[in-house]
Amino acid sequence: MTLALAAAAFAQDLGVPLSWREFTNNRSHAELISISEAAIDTILPQLNVASGDFAGIGYWQAGNVWSAMANEDFRAGTTKYKAQVVDQLNNVFGLWAHYDQFGFNDDAMWWATAAYYGFRAYGDTNLLSHAEDVWTHVNTFVIPAGASSISTKNFGFSATCEGKSMAGGVFWRTDAGDDNVNSVTTGLFITLSAYLAEVTGDAKYTNAAIASANWIRRLNLNSDPIVLDTVHALDCSRTPTTWLFTYNTGKYLEGLEVLYDVTKDTQWRDLAVSIGNAGMKSTAWAGSNGVCTEGASPDSNNDGVGFKAIWVRAIDEAYNRVAKRGDNEAYRILLHSYVDVQLNALLELAANGTSYSSAWAGPPQGFTTWGQLASLDVFVAALHAA
């Protein structure tokens, strides 16, 4: 499978589909910074400073507001949001051990990744320590090679599913009886591990990222390749193969891009290209015009609203790393064009002043916290990738 995917990475068509809606942009960098900051400033009145949450969205989604704010400063080369980001990431870490409010390992890692982005943007080593603390905590829910039990679960399970090793899979919940091993939790662990490997040089993080990257590749990747959702450790049953969500593919893509820069192993770069290309052109969450339709919910919040923000953040990370390497111009242009499609849709079809609908294809509507959340990563991505 590794060789097949590597071959596909070079053989595939990385061209921009001509059916995509408005895949260029002529706005200045200064204008894009202004748009991005205005979108962040529009969501900030929803902040509860005691809890670090935002009215109208859930805990995991709130963590991603802080990620967008840290990344805005990082991409723009500013420190406008430093005081708020650092204060709230420290505050919430103090409220919930390992950032774990509800017993979900993915929740903990959404916040830990925000802490890493904060460290990257501002150099605050307390935030790096928070990210490392969560990694250590979640690592106790990772399946080791050959294992049929782990200390944090009260049941035994098969070391293989479908004849393939379960090593590197990460359990979704801390509940001792819950057997869900899913891609978003594993993808978050890959990404967090790879970032920590990049900044510390510690091989334990690199090895963890590789093991978990191999779990998704072995067990939870379809032929497109798009990342699937969940494998149940107890009986190896699966969620339906039609459960295709942007954030599963997005976290894997982001982790692979960082892992390649850490290891210089071209299998990860080639797999990232295949997955990024497939995800940007997937009909699972977009029509022929390329505008992402997932989570479009004008009347109520849903998780899918947050999913597509994660996906665009991965595209942003991929773009910046590919551009820095200078090793795949066709792919760089495709990533750039995809961000432009989403940017132009938001600004032209979904904008109501400085607030944005979660339905990126429109129509505009009054402010909702979830719609605003979904827009933030698009505007951050536009700072370099548009």
* 221-239 confidence digits (pLDDT tens): 999 999 999 999 999 999 9
Packed helices 105-122 and 125-139: angle between N→C axes, nearest 10 degrees: 150
Closest CA to 333 of 315, 360, 307: 315
Q: Specify whether the backbone of 2 is left (phi greater than 0), alpha (psi in -120 to 50) or beta.
A: alpha
Average pLDDT over residues 331-347: 98
**What integer pLDDT is reported at residue 76 of this predicted model?**
98
Residue 195 pLDDT exceeds 70? yes
Q: What is the 3-state secondary structure (H, E, C) of the chain?
A: CHHHHHHHHHHCCCCCCCCCCCCCCCCCHHHHHHHHHHHHHHHHHHECCCCCCECCCCHHHHHHHHHHHHHHHHHHCCCCCHHHHHHHHHHHHHHCHHHCCCCEHHHHHHHHHHHHHHHHHHCCHHHHHHHHHHHHHHHCCECCCCCCCCCCCCCCCCCEECCEECCCCEECECCCCCCEEEHHHHHHHHHHHHHHHHHHCCHHHHHHHHHHHHHHHHHCECCCCCECCEEECCCCCECCCCCCCHHHHHHHHHHHHHHHHHHCCHHHHHHHHHHHHHHHCCCCCECCCCCECCCCCCCCCCHHHHHHHHHHHHHHHHHHHHHHHCCCHHHHHHHHHHHHHHHHHHHHHCEECCEECCCCCCCCCCCCHHHHHHHHHHHHHHHHHC
Q: What is the pTM of this model?
A: 0.97
Cβ 166 vs Cβ 149: under 8 Å: no
Q: How many residues does the chain have?
A: 386
- Which pLDDT score, from 0 to 100, does residue 6 have? 46
Is residue 320 very low, low, confident or very high in pLDDT (cuts 50, 70, 90)? Answer: very high
pLDDT digits (tens, 9 = 90+) for 227-273: 999 999 999 999 999 999 999 999 999 999 999 999 999 999 999 99
Q: What is the largest CA-CA distance in the chain?
A: 57
Confidence class for position 7, pLDDT limits 50, 70, 90: very low
* Tokens of residue 81, six digits: 């949001």
pLDDT band at 386 (very low <50, low <70, confident <90, very high): confident
Return the residue matching tokens 């943007």. 121
At 11, the pLDDT band (50, 70, 90 cuts) reads low
Cβ atoms of 152 and 171 closer than 8 Å:
yes
Q: Average pLDDT, stretch 346-357?
A: 98
The answer to whether 340 and 25 are in contact (CB under 8 A) is yes
Q: Is the confidence at residue 2, as pLDDT, over 60?
A: no
> Model confidence over 67-93: pLDDT tens digits?
999 999 999 999 999 999 999 999 999
Q: Give residue 1's pLDDT.
A: 43
Specify the pLDDT at position 9. Answer: 47
Q: What distance in Å separates the CA atoms of residue 109 and residue 98, rounded to the nearest whole number?
A: 9
